[in-house]
Amino acid sequence: MSATTKPTPPPNLNSAEKRRRRLLLAILAGLTLLLLFVTFLFIRYLNKPEPLPELLPVPVEVNYPPHYLLSIYDVDGPVGVATSPEGDRIYVTEMRGERLIKTFDTDGNLLGSFSPPRTTSGERSPVYIATDSRGRVYVTDRLQHAIIVYDRDGSYLDTILSPSLTLSEYVAKHTGSTPAPGSFSYNIFEEDVFYKDAEGNEQTLPRPDYALWAPLGIRFDASDRMLLTDVTEDAHSVRVVPSDIILSPNWLDFDLSAMQFGTSGQGDGQFLFPNSAVDDSQDRVIVTDGNNGRLSVWNGQGEFLFHFGSGSGDGALSLPRGEAIDGRDRLHVVDAVGQNVKVYDFSGPEPGYLFSFGSMGVRNGQFNYPNDIALDDSGRLYVTDRENNRIQVWSY
């Protein structure tokens, strides 16, 4: 009689053990996925150092300085900076060298350069730059005493010669027909205006007779109003140009005289070399009053409200130049001699100083006479770092 043994049945796991194992398996899978996601973000960041997606909503009341991301070189004494409406291009003006306007992509790759037609480097001085909602690029030029307008790719379109005259308007009046954009040119150092006739042959006109001016700072607000500073001697002022003039089909009846405010001086409502103007959500116009070392605030009707930012202590300005305001009414002001960017809160009735970033030097995140700033919708900030010959890119 042999004893038979029954095979041992598999251990009968109780349901609690099964749940525990499933839970462990789920946790392990979750951790693996998380590891993969973090690895993906890390590799993506290494390849393209852009702001990471916000996984959790950031409380709007938190204000913290941005951090340095990268620098864009290939520029010689950069002064003005702007981004395209889509945020995919950065336009920079140069003070030295060939004095070109250079275009970069957001990774800092040089896409091209352009300049006013028929000018040499000694005949042009591009300073501040801005783009309208159509992507047209506007550049103020101190030597040409004009605003020169290009398309998105840098092809010349037209010149705003004075507050009441464009070059296309001048050519149209003399030829009786509307000239094609860019089919004409004028260099203030030359005697003739050049244009192409109907057959495509180059013709000349005498130089236009008009009152000179000195456009300097230029910005467009969200509704395509042009905010322009004018440093014509003894008549420093700000002009706010309605969008219907900017966006009209042609500029054959041009007139920038709609709203102009301010005079030259050091008192209330006066400017000494206003370098830029922007507006906030309360329709206040905020002007960097350069040589007075302050911000000058006006209401939407062009009435002076108050000064801000002069004196000493945190937030006090030395030589305010370019400025940009974000969707939360945080005003970013470049202080050229302070060697930093100061940020103010303009969301309430009284502005307040928030923080500054940057210091003097040549290292990453340090400035050597910064001059202008542009913001894009992704939280990036572009600052021209003039004597370090670069554009610094910062990010929130």
Q: Which residues bind other proteins (CB under 8 A)?
A: 77, 79, 95-96, 99, 120-123, 125, 127, 142-143, 145, 188-189, 211-216, 230-235, 265-267, 272-273, 275, 290-291, 293, 310-312, 316, 318-319, 321, 336-339, 360, 368-369, 371, 386-387
Looking at the Cβ atoms of 175 and 291, the one nearer to other proteins is 291
We find the least distance from the C-beta atom of residue 230 to other proteins, in angstroms, to be 8
d(CA 227, CA 210): 22
d(CA 143, CA 121): 10
Amino acid at 276: S
Looking at the Cβ atoms of 372 and 376, the one nearer to other proteins is 372
d(CA 249, CA 246): 9
Looking at the Cβ atoms of 249 and 267, the one nearer to other proteins is 267
We find the least distance from the C-beta atom of residue 148 to other proteins, in angstroms, to be 15
d(CA 81, CA 93): 7
We find the least distance from the C-beta atom of residue 44 to other proteins, in angstroms, to be 38
DSSP classification of residue 135? -
d(CA 43, CA 64): 26
Q: How far apart are the first and last CA of the chain?
A: 86
Looking at the Cβ atoms of 83 and 388, the one nearer to other proteins is 388
CB 182 within 8 A of CB 194: no
We find the least distance from the C-beta atom of residue 270 to other proteins, in angstroms, to be 9
Residue 9 exposure: Cα atoms within 13 Å on the Cβ side: 3
We find the least distance from the C-beta atom of residue 295 to other proteins, in angstroms, to be 14
Looking at the Cβ atoms of 106 and 356, the one nearer to other proteins is 356
We find the least distance from the C-beta atom of residue 353 to other proteins, in angstroms, to be 15
Looking at the Cβ atoms of 34 and 362, the one nearer to other proteins is 362
The H or E element spanning position 167 is helix 167-175
We find the least distance from the C-beta atom of residue 275 to other proteins, in angstroms, to be 6
d(CA 291, CA 317): 10
We find the least distance from the C-beta atom of residue 316 to other proteins, in angstroms, to be 7
**265 φ/ψ angles, rounded to the nearest 5 degrees:** 150, -170
d(CA 168, CA 251): 7
Tokens of 386: 């003039």
Looking at the Cβ atoms of 192 and 326, the one nearer to other proteins is 192
Which residue, chain included where needed, has tokens 């607000």?
Answer: 221
Looking at the Cβ atoms of 136 and 307, the one nearer to other proteins is 307
Instruction: Give the CA distances from residue 269 to residues 225, 238, 313, 353, in Å, rounded to whole numbers and listed in that order.
Output: 21, 11, 23, 22
